Structure 1
């Protein structure tokens, strides 16, 4: 049976829709350094203000928040790393009607784009 994915209105997306363990299924590096933890990520776990990143080299973790721009209310993830804050625009969020399967696309200021799926 084919599962249909519904686009979630990003202007009204509740923050908990972003929670969970996300698997990186594709990435576009653009001009991003391919050795950074985000560029090498295999999984991104987002839970109640804390995130954890799995990479082939070494895991990373920190805190995160959702910020929204004042004009269009678009959601941005603010990932707090040890030495910097990395911002990613949520460009697409899709889910099945029951929410069991979700896809997420994040576009970072560095040009990195991550395509994620849950579960």
Structure 2
């Protein structure tokens, strides 16, 4: 069963510049944390692999299905899930609103059609 993010957690994670993500190994220990951008869309939290499906952190996260995240003073165990097909427009808007100041080349790595298959929804557990 999945828990829900509290309003405070959503606000803190949504305002955080970056998120640290660690996937769980087969022996249930955490891998080292990887730092990435994070966005909030509605009451959900998402990350995307800027370097596609072959990015090592992405492969490990999708293979394990579980991990831990830290952002904005929040630390939670999470389940990694595929994002629903109808939320990608909102996720793109959230990335643009939060990170466009870094320029189109950088933000372009995490928005648009190529980012859809490498989007992970973070579900608290």
Name whichever structure is richer in helix by fraction: 2
TM-score greater than 0.5 by the shorter chain: no
Name whichever structure is richer in strand by fraction: 1
TM-score (norm 1): 0.26
By relative contact order (CA 8 Å, sep 6+), the higher-ranking structure is 2
